[in-house]
Structure 1
């Protein structure tokens, strides 16, 4: 009888412990999954190119996805085949010669942001540091951004262009190929990049 009671107690403790572990695991999963998601149809990443010394043209990527965790971990994926320069043949050449989309169809941006900025009540400016991985190469960058709340969403926008080097990104040869094909005198090695990301809170 005593053994039976002891077994019942032990079983009860075991079940309670398993339930507690399960609950804790669920909490961690919820914490991990909660955060912010990029609204692709309301987000843009723009870049500029300068040819022949003084002719500046603006381009954009439309295929942007990603998220920001509640702890401030940022991950943005850019579909390089979504590049739009307003000239279809130039889009194709960029994909083939610069981005090499057959092997590297996407670019990845990772960064960290102060989690407190995810609950701001007014427009707030800050500086973030991140890494851009493109066509098999990576480069670090810093960006001056603003975070603005808007009807349950957050708008994250660059305050100043982030200037990237095609040499550091390892795509200088591809840019040179574009210059030759287009018969241009020059294409700038520096590429100013701006973005506006709309983040939707999820739980």
Structure 2
């Protein structure tokens, strides 16, 4: 009986992990979004996002997402231009890159919804690298596509990435009494399984 149960358990595990085996995924830009909130004059919050996100997840669990900083969308063209040139300085730092080793986490994802706590990733932004930790919700479709969403906002501090001077320039040009230097960031990424 023990042998029968062991075989059944092994078969079930193989079935659940089948979408993972020999697979790789790429970010579907049209179904993905990285957004952030800026706060000016102490109390005015505005939502912004990036129009271009790329990257993927290898079958070994190596995760990489590249955010095209020049694709920032604030709904105000002059503000887009100022953020691109003065804050992000995209001529020198065109992308923000997030990398993570999800080798151990990948095996936990099967069709359905899963909470993955304490993901550790490296953010390479504006010539500076910092390790950040966050929790995500991961969903796998029956076809093997994966959606990964932040469970709560990730707070990015300007001082960690040497962009406080850029924020000060934006504040001066806009004639604002203040612009917050801590920014909450959210994301929802759809990764299509390579077929």
TM > 0.5 fold call: yes
Match of 2:51 among 39, 57, 62: 62
The structural deviation recorded for 1:151 is 4.7
Q: Does 1:105 align with 2:105?
A: no
- Corresponding residue for 1:143? 134
- Corresponding residue for 2:111? 121
- Corresponding residue for 1:200? 192
For residues 125-151 of structure 1, give each alpha carbon's deviation from its aligned partner in whole angstroms, at most 9, with x where no partner exists: 112111111121122211110001235
Query: Could you state the TM-score of these two structures normalised by the residue count of structure 2?
Result: 0.83
For residues 139-189 of structure 1, give each alpha carbon's deviation from its aligned partner in whole angstroms, at most 9, with x where no partner exists: 221111000123521110001000110110110100111001101111111
Distance in structure 1 (CA, Å) of the matches to 2:71 and 2:137: 25
Q: Are the counterparts in 1 of residues 111 and 141 from structure 2 also a CA contact under 8 Å? A: no
Q: Are the counterparts in 1 of residues 146 and 191 from structure 2 also a CA contact under 8 Å? A: yes
Give the gaps of 5 or more residues in structure 1: 1-32
Query: Could you state the TM-score of these two structures normalised by the residue count of structure 1?
Result: 0.80
Tell me the secondary structure at the aligned position of residue 200 of structure 1: strand
- Corresponding residue for 1:35? 24
Aligned residues: 171
Tell me the secondary structure at the aligned position of residue 82 of structure 2: helix
Distance in structure 1 (CA, Å) of the matches to 2:79 and 2:128: 22
Distance in structure 1 (CA, Å) of the matches to 2:81 and 2:63: 29
For residues 64-101 of structure 1, give each alpha carbon's deviation from its aligned partner in whole angstroms, at most 9, with x where no partner exists: 00011112211011111110001110000001111101
Q: Does 1:164 align with 2:156?
A: yes
Q: Which runs of at least 4 in structure 1 moved beyond 4 Å after TM superposition?
A: none
Distance in structure 2 (CA, Å) of the matches to 1:183 and 1:139: 31
